[in-house]
Each structure stands twice: as C-alpha cells, then as structure tokens.
Structure 1
Amino acid sequence: MLESHGPSFIEGLNSEFAGVILDQDRTKATLFTDRLGARPIYVTDELDDSVLFSTHLNSILAHPAFEPSVDDELLSEFLKLERTFGIYTPFEGVHQLHPGSTLTVDLEDGSTSLERYWVPQYRPTDRPYNELVQEFSSIIQRSVEERSDPSADEGLFVSGGSDSRLLLSLLADDVTGYHLNDSINTEAEIAREACETAGVDFRFLQREPDYLTDVLERVADFQLFQSFFDQAHFAGFEDELTNEVDAVFSGHTADTILEGFYLPTREVPVPHLGWTIPLPILEPVESVGSYAEYIVNDYQYNRGPSTNTQPEYVTLDKSPEAVLREYMTESDDGVVHHGVKYPSIDALAHAGGFYPITNNKAYFTYYTANQMLPTHYPFLDNRVIDFSLSVPHRHHARRSIVNRTLTNRNRPLAEIPKAGIGLPLTYPRTVYSVAELWRSFKNNIVPGSGSGGGSWSDNAAVLRETDIAESYLLNGECSEQYPAIIDREKIETLYQRHLEGENNYFDLYALLSLCNSYPVKNDRMTFQ
C-alpha cells in the first residue's frame, strides 16, 4: 500500500491501529495512529535532538535518559476524573500522538511535523428514522463479517444489555458467550438466556472475593492514567480466555458512539432531597466553560462525586473545573480540549467522549483486553463513526438505534428483558427513561431495592471485606511514594470513614491505581 499510495494510504485504513514508516534513506520516520487514537503512541521531544516514542507510556518513563516530571494539575485531573483528557498525560513533556494524525520526525535534527488527516465533523442529516436504522443495520453487519474468521474459535463478552446481543445476532452459532460476575444474579441469568436463545455456548466467569486484588497486581505495570485499575474487568481471566478462544468480540463503546452516553443532557434537581433526575433532553453546550462544568458534574462522565471539589486528600488549591479550563480554548477556528482540536463546539459535544477514545472512562477495559488476546470492536469501525456523526443529536439522546436494529434482526433476542430495568428491548427508549427514574426513586428510598443485580463488583464492599487497601495503599512502602499534593493523614481518615459506612471507594481506587503504577513503584516520578 505504501508503494502504491504513499503515506496517504493511512487515511483509508479502518478501525484501530498504530504504526511507523521509515523512509528508505532513513532520514525520516512517520508515526501514525487511527482516527480515535485507540492504539495510542506516546511521544516526548524533551531529549536533545531526539524524539522518543512508544506504544506504552511506561517505556517512555523507563528510558534512562528521560527524567519524568509530574504535572500536579493533570495528576489531580486523573485522581478526580479517572483520566487525563485529550493527548495529555500527568507527565510534563509526554503526550499521545493526536488522534487521526501523522507525525513526521526528521531523524537528523529531531524536528517534527504534525498533520491531522481526520477530524470529527458533526453533520447531521434529517432523514426518516427507519432509513437510519436500515443504514446502520447494513453497516454493523459488514463490520462484524469483516472481523470474523470462520476458521477461528471466537468468543463474545455478553452482558444483560443490548450491545452484545446485537453482536450475538450477527455472529455464527459456534461463538462462545462469556459473562463476568460475582454470582448468577439477574444480569447473569439474562446473559445466559440471550446465549441460549441465540443457540451459542454460555461460559460463566465467576469473580472470587479477592478478584480485584489479583487484577490490581496484574495490571499495575499497564497503568496509562486513562482509567482506574478496576476497569480491567477481564484481566483476571486471561488464562481461561487465551486457552479457549483465538479472539473475542466486544460491544464496548457502542453506547458512547451511538447512544449519546456522553452527550450533555438535562438533570432536574429534587428539592430538599438532594437527588437529581436525568432526562433524555439535550442540554446545549454553549462554551468550553459549560462543557468543563458538565464533565465535572455529570454522572455519566464521572464515576466519582459530582462536585467541583478536589478529593479531600488532594492539597492542590484549584478546583477541577479550573484545572480543565486551563487546557481548553475556543476560537473562530474551533475548540481545543487538552491538545485535541475539534472543528466546533457541537463536534466537541458529540465526539468529546470518544475522540480520542482514551477520553472514555472505561478505556482500560479496552486496553487490557487487547493485551490478552485479539479483541474485535465492531462499533469502532470507521463507517459506524461516520454514521454516528450524521445522526441528529435528538436521536442519540431519545432513541436507541441498537435496540431497534436488534428488534428488526432478531425479535426473540430483543424481547428478553434488559438487566436492571426488566423491560424488553422492543420498548421505546422513553419507556426505559421512566423505568430508570422509578428504579432511581426506589433506590434512593430503600438503598439496593432498585438494583437488578448488575455485572460490576460491589467496590465499596471490596474495600471493606478484603485487605486491598491495607496491603496496597496504607502500608509503609506506599506512603513513602505519595506525591506532594496528597495528604497521607486524610487518606487514612477517608478509609476509616469508608469502613464505618461512607462510600468513598472512588477516591480510594484512584490512589490504589496511582500508588501501584509502574512509575511510582519504580521511583520514576519527580514532583513539582
């Protein structure tokens, strides 16, 4: 392809990739990555007349000629929001290659030239919804077919929702469905029923009580500061997966790409009760300031406390919104969000959660699965991305094109209730919104009553029932490695209050992820 088309062949590549082209005369090298930066390349030009790059952040930090220096503000961003956004990392002078771009390096003098070959252009087309469904159905079918290998043993991560069910309807009946859970609860039963309805084998992967301790140990050296350690959901079952299948499919990111998961929607506060009710109504984003406010306060963007305050153990005298705004600018030429350029504020609102894909709070799920075995993500297909950018925001917020497509393709699968809601996927999305409100109401009145038994660990219980915090956070070795912006005494107080009934898991998981990362454990962090 390089000989036939030159470097422009990169623009025609599909889905996830990263690479380097070395000129025949060895005077230039060109780094490139996919549209969404799903396979990030980390770069620093802090060395004299040299550019250091790697597909893993820790390779940069481990280089003997590079002295990593921590940016306190970006580190606080990771601790508060579970990732550093855009191309930035918590380390000064180290960044990701811009998504959808090439970076040409002159090997003689170390100079660089960046070219973006793709940016997300939000260009909605006002068409009948049925036409959109038909178009998407054709796209996702081709996406799955092109990734599937009839001669290979293939698996599929199956949840109780709709994304994996749609893939199940498109894959051959010799695929194996894998579901991860603590027990055979409601979600697991629905996943099993989906596999049985599709006529495929169901494989239950049961987490033991110390599962997340094992995961923390396994993924410590893979920490990219783009998710907390617990997002490496399948890492503890690497042996089972690699022994049983050649590759696995995942519906991960479908809600982000197609269903407006990160689109700002309206929340209505309930007076005197401290609750907020999410509504499927778009909240206009008028400036980067309002977008920063949305990131900090929206429960979809942020698993942690939705408040504009730093974790109580962080001593930085700057609010999370102010930190975000430091790295966001707006002009007639577009918007820059943490080093990533968007052509408009609408494009930022639409694509900010997946361009780059490391902005997704669950990116570590994707990354660690790819470290185990080939993992296919049909919803990251270029055609799916282009389709998403052509669908009006109102459809992303109020309708489910995945549910409608599944209903058209395989109604028996769609009629199986969705876990946590208890309604078939054939119902309109507005009905789900009402059901979600009812579940939220019940859970606020009687905690736990609105839960249908999901597939995620009970993180608050993990901290109370295992020694993960005592062994990996509060021991003497960890305490000597805390960054200067962290107050150790407040960590111990926070943990004690958690043991007594508060739910502080998010802030504690942030510290577990940081303090067990490669740069901290190997003394590769210099603090401001």
Structure 2
Amino acid sequence: MKDFLFSTEEFAAAALKERSADSEIFAGETIRQFEGEWGTLLVTEDCYTQYQPYEDGERLFIVLGGPLYTGPESEGFLSAVPRLMGDWENIDFSRHFDGPFALLKVNKEEKRMDCVTDLLSFIPVYRAEREGQLLLSSHVDLLADAAGEREKRDAVSELDFVLHGAVTYPYTAYENIRQVSPGTIHTIDKNTADISGRTWWLPEEILRYTSIGEAADDLRNTVETYVNRVTEKESSVAHFISGGEDSRTIAGLIPDHLHKDSFVFLDDLNLEGKIAKKSAAIYGSNFHFYARDPLHYLYILPGSSELVGSGSEYKHAHTYGFHEKAGLNKYPVVLGGLFSDALLKGARIRKIRGSKKFPFLPDIKDSFYTVNKEAGVDIFREEVMKALRKRREDHYHTIKEMRPESAKEWFQMWPASMNMNIPNLHVNRRLFCSYEPFMANGVVKISASVPQSWKMNRKLFHRAFKPYLKPAWWLWHSDGRFPYFSRYANIMPQLFVWMYMNLAVKTGRIKGHQGPFAHWDTIFSSEAFRQTKEEYLNYGGVLPQTLKSNHPFSSIFESDQLEPQQKINLLQVLHHHKTDG
C-alpha cells in the first residue's frame, strides 16, 4: 500500500474521508477501507501487488512499501501471514521484510493495532490525537487534515526546515503531531486509549568486524542477494543511470540475462548525460534520456510538495512528472542507488573546509563541527533560535547514547527523516515500483557496525564493489574521478581533470549547466520565480513571528543571511501555507 490513515474511532471511514477530502494524497487514489469496533483504517493501493491486504474474521494485516519478503523460499507472503501473526512477539522483522516498510496488524477481538516501523523509518509514521481518539498515518499532511491540525503550524519546526532541510525528530511541521520511533512495534490499545512501543532494533555503536575485507565481503553479498531476489522473477527491469559510481554498480549487479533500460533526466545532454550514456552502453543497458525544462524544479513545486509532505524537501523528487512520460510506472522493478553515500561513504560525516571546493583532496573529518553550527543566522528572534537549538541538541544527545563516537554522523540518519535526501524515496515509491539496494537491512546494519574511517574516502564501498566497476574502469566519474580506482590513486587524475574543467569553463570551451540536478541560478533569475515568490509572500503563516522586528517578512528573500537552498525551502513552506487555505 502507498499510504494509510488509522483512527481508534469506530466505524469512521466516512468521517475520515470527509475530513481528508482536500488531501492531495487521497486525490484520484483507490482507497480501501476497513472498520469495526477496533477502529478505522484507510489505505491507498500501490504497484507492489504481492502485498495485498490480508483479512479474516479476527485479524487484518497490511504492508506499506515494497520490501522483499525473505521468509522461507517455499512460503509465499499471503500463506505466511497467519504464521507471522501467530508468532508476532518473537519475530525479527528484519529477517522477514528487507528494505523500507511499515507493517500494520489489527487484532479485531482485542481491539488492538500494532504498527511496525523499519530499521530507520525509511517510511515514516506520524501520530496525533483528536477528541480523545488516537490517529496514525504515513503522511503528515493527511494526518493533519484528519486530526484537525492543518492550521496549527509549528514556527520552530518551519524555521528548522528552512535552515536545515529537515525537521528535527520527533517534531513535525505541526504543533501537535509527532513522528513515532524507528525500529519499533507501536501498539495502540483501544480499550485503554493508549499507545506504547517496544524497540526491536537500534543502531548501537558495536563494531562487529575485525577487518575491512570481511565487512566488504558481507556488504557485497548483501547487495547482490537483494538485487537477485528482487529481479529473479522478472524479464526486464529499469534503473537510473548517471555520471557516478552508484548507478554503475547497480547496472553491474543486474543479472546479464535481463533486459535493462536505464534512465536519466537532465536539462540537456550535458557532460553528466554523455558519461551516463557511455556507462549504459558498457553495461548493456538501453539508454533513455529525457530533457527537462530549465524551470522544471520550479514547476513541480506544488505537486511534489504535496506528495512528500510538509517538512520534506520537494526538490529531491527528481522523477516527478517523468514517471508517466518515461513509463517508469510500467516496470515491475525500478532500481535506484539512494543512500549509498550516507550509509557507506560517510556523506554525513562532516569534513574540514575545502573538501567540496577541492574534491581531489582526501576526506578529513572535522572534529570541531557541532549540530548547531549552521543555525547562526541573526535575522531570527533569539527565543525561537534557542528553542530550535534545544531540539537539535536533545536529538544529538539521544544519538550520542547509542553512538558515542559517531553521533554527529547518525544525527542525520536516525531516523531517516533527518536526512534531507529521503524524500526521493517517498516520491518514487508512491509513483512506481521502486527498489533501493543500498537500503537493504544488511546494508544498514553493516553501516552501523563499522568505524567511520572505513566509510570515508570510499574505502569500504570501493573494496566491496570494485568488481562491478571494472567494466567501466577507463570511464571517468562526472566529478573527475575514475571509480574503479581507490580514493588515493585518484588524487592526481582528479586534480588534472578539475583544473581542466575549471579552465574550460572560464575560457568558454564548456558552456551551460553540466550537473545532474537543477541549475538554480537559472531558476532564481527567471520571471516565473519572481512571480511565484511575490505571490507566496502573502502566505507567511507563522513564519513572520520568527523574525526580528527590524526584518520585515516581505524582504526575507532578499536577505543575504539565507543560502539559495534555504530560500527554496522557504518557498516550499509558503506553498504549504497557501494550500492550508
């Protein structure tokens, strides 16, 4: 299923639908309803047809997302459900459902509902209350509609989102809605009108490997197994291709006997696209290039913002609009490479200054970084900033109890909603049959079980997937590296490529936008952006009260205190205010 909305309110399907009538997440969807004395559950159907709702006279079982069912090979999912529900208290969910998921189990006689979140809450779940009733949902705005919280925006959370691209867990964009914890069985007992939780997994800092080679072998086997299992019954699959190494790895992992179609969406067939095209040819994949309008990321703001929900960056909805145009929704399997950087390459380990400006230099950890380092803009009221810092510090200390040495890294990964890139998954899984090998349970557990030094400079990733990079050993990465070789072997080649690229841009030999995503300068300078900005300034909502008195809200977009990407986040917040009515 795509999304769900649960309430302890009895036989309330009609009422919930009415309260959620304006929600885009239900618009045009096939809604299945289940209700009784235990409460009410609404779910929307998706393309993962192997997970149809299971219902008998006593129980109801729902799966969200498209995890791999990894029970006994001779046992199909539907035939396994009675056994799973009968052995519920002893299940290691990570051994039965691999990848992003949320599970719902209703015991009708006992009037109890269990909601199980995955290892990192790749699929987040939110809770609220309304007139003594408990509500849960997989979409924060849908829940806000059902709970009557739509107009109760949280000013601190919205400022948090503008500055950091995410809302600090467990808070949300709404004052009275919270995200529930990852790796937990959340039990709602209608008889007591209470919700309780039992944690079944935490990313505790326990190093389980004695050598990087051992960890790399496990990692490679984990991802190979995931890809083989998800494609074993298919004749053709789709995957995304780019100028990078993750997409090459995925292309190499796909079994050779399958028909492969690779897709890339760009403003034009630039350097990124040309490298991607060569990569597709090397790996025997049919290359499909789709051109974007230069203002594409402005035009998709309304639709993709509604899809990901308040507090999630819409700009990661790279496939939005192309799911039908490119026919992604017709494939049984679409493979991506999301979260490889975060889980395996230390992307959330803060590096010393200069790492981005001079990419040929090795990564060196910044030991002096703090989680509130970026929250230093001075146009916002001190009491609001103080409340924001307190939330982030509280979350940091929660992580530090689990991971004393790597708390700053996992601050942005537990739960996954703290990682600004996760909306990419939220969009894709709602639009087509998306599968992410680097989000397999084994990958998450390995990431939690190795030292940071193995992740940095691609050491673990390179050791694990070098065999799959070999076919394209001579093809450079769009950042100037040769992925088949180690980080240190790439220092001089990447330096020369970096110097050449900079010189070519300055002399005009290379013109135009060469990257994979939006060219924000083009968008910011457009008349369409100016008109959108002026319109949206009328929907400030609670944000003006976060500003100091000498900073009028009408001039916030002109402030040099906000980075360009923070202004995009601001525009998205104002869009949500507009839809609030």
Give the TM-score band, short-chain normalised: 0.7 to 0.9
Alignment-derived partner of residue 545 in structure 2: 485
AA partner of residue 526 (structure 2)? E
* Paired residue secondary structure (1:358): helix
Alignment-derived partner of residue 298 in structure 2: 213
Residues 150, 326 of structure 1: alpha-carbon distance in 2 compared, 3 angstrom cutoff: closer
Alignment-derived partner of residue 9 in structure 2: none
Contact in 2 for aligned 1:14/1:382 (Cα 8 Å): yes
Question: Given the alignment of the two structures, is residue 237 of structure 1 paired with residue 316 of structure 2, yes or no?
Answer: no
Distance 1:170 1:18 in 2: 27
Contact in 1 for aligned 2:186/2:197 (Cα 8 Å): yes
Unaligned 5+ runs, structure 1? 297-306, 524-528
Alignment-derived partner of residue 303 in structure 1: none
Distance 2:280 2:499 in 1: 32
Q: Which has the higher contact order (CA 8 A, sep 6+)?
A: 1
Q: CA deviation at 1:122?
A: 2.2
Question: Given the alignment of the two structures, is residue 258 of structure 1 paired with residue 344 of structure 2, yes or no?
Answer: yes
AA partner of residue 77 (structure 1)? D
Identify the match of residue 224 of structure 1 among 305, 309, 332. 309
Alignment-derived partner of residue 300 in structure 1: none
Alignment-derived partner of residue 40 in structure 1: 124
* Paired residue secondary structure (2:239): strand
Identify the match of residue 335 of structure 1 among 390, 397, 401. 397
Alignment-derived partner of residue 505 in structure 1: 564
Q: CA deviation at 1:155?
A: 0.9
Alignment-derived partner of residue 225 in structure 2: 142
Contact in 2 for aligned 1:420/1:453 (Cα 8 Å): no
Residues 375, 67 of structure 1: alpha-carbon distance in 2 compared, 3 angstrom cutoff: closer
Alignment-derived partner of residue 478 in structure 2: 419
Contact in 2 for aligned 1:125/1:392 (Cα 8 Å): no
Alignment-derived partner of residue 184 in structure 1: 269
Q: CA deviation at 1:403?
A: 3.2
How do 1:298-377 and structure 2 match up within 5 A? 308-309=376-377, 312=379, 315-318=380-383, 323-329=388-394, 335-336=397-398, 342-377=401-436
Contact in 1 for aligned 2:140/2:309 (Cα 8 Å): yes
Deviates further, 244-253 or 436-445? 436-445
Contact in 2 for aligned 1:308/1:321 (Cα 8 Å): no
Q: Normalising by the residue count of structure 2, what TM-score does the alignment of the two structures yield?
A: 0.75
* Paired residue secondary structure (1:235): coil
Alignment-derived partner of residue 66 in structure 2: none
Q: CA deviation at 1:229?
A: 2.2
Distance 1:18 1:76 in 2: 29
Q: Deviations over 1:421-450 (max 9, x none)?
A: 1x3112221354667778888999998789
Residues 86, 279 of structure 1: alpha-carbon distance in 2 compared, 3 angstrom cutoff: farther
Distance 2:506 2:311 in 1: 30
AA partner of residue 324 (structure 1)? R
Contact in 2 for aligned 1:250/1:375 (Cα 8 Å): yes
AA partner of residue 38 (structure 1)? F
Contact in 2 for aligned 1:266/1:279 (Cα 8 Å): no
Q: How many residues align?
A: 489
Alignment-derived partner of residue 518 in structure 2: 457
Residues 366, 478 of structure 1: alpha-carbon distance in 2 compared, 3 angstrom cutoff: farther
Residues 235, 292 of structure 1: alpha-carbon distance in 2 compared, 3 angstrom cutoff: same
Contact in 2 for aligned 1:309/1:319 (Cα 8 Å): no
Distance 2:554 2:307 in 1: 26
Alignment-derived partner of residue 488 in structure 2: 430
Alignment-derived partner of residue 260 in structure 2: 175
Distance 1:317 1:444 in 2: 41
Alignment-derived partner of residue 50 in structure 1: 133
Q: CA deviation at 1:80?
A: 0.5
Identify the match of residue 292 of structure 1 among 352, 371, 379. 371
Distance 2:444 2:355 in 1: 33
Alignment-derived partner of residue 475 in structure 1: 535
Residues 153, 266 of structure 1: alpha-carbon distance in 2 compared, 3 angstrom cutoff: same
Contact in 1 for aligned 2:127/2:137 (Cα 8 Å): yes
Unaligned 5+ runs, structure 2? 1-82
CA RMSD of aligned residues (A): 3.5
Distance 1:479 1:57 in 2: 20
Residues 403, 279 of structure 1: alpha-carbon distance in 2 compared, 3 angstrom cutoff: closer
Q: CA deviation at 1:74?
A: 1.8
Q: Deviations over 1:407-432 (max 9, x none)?
A: 323512243111121x3112221354
Distance 1:277 1:318 in 2: 41
Distance 1:276 1:124 in 2: 29
AA partner of residue 378 (structure 1)? P
Q: CA deviation at 1:478?
A: 3.5
Distance 2:410 2:501 in 1: 32
Distance 1:86 1:447 in 2: 42
Alignment-derived partner of residue 2 in structure 1: 84
* Paired residue secondary structure (1:265): coil
Deviates further, 201-210 or 275-284? 275-284
Residues 320, 225 of structure 1: alpha-carbon distance in 2 compared, 3 angstrom cutoff: farther
Q: CA deviation at 1:39?
A: 0.9
Identity of aligned residues (%): 16
Residues 11, 200 of structure 1: alpha-carbon distance in 2 compared, 3 angstrom cutoff: closer
Q: CA deviation at 1:468?
A: 2.9
Q: Deviations over 1:478-510 (max 9, x none)?
A: 446463336698565465689xxx995323211
Contact in 2 for aligned 1:156/1:250 (Cα 8 Å): yes
* Paired residue secondary structure (1:346): coil
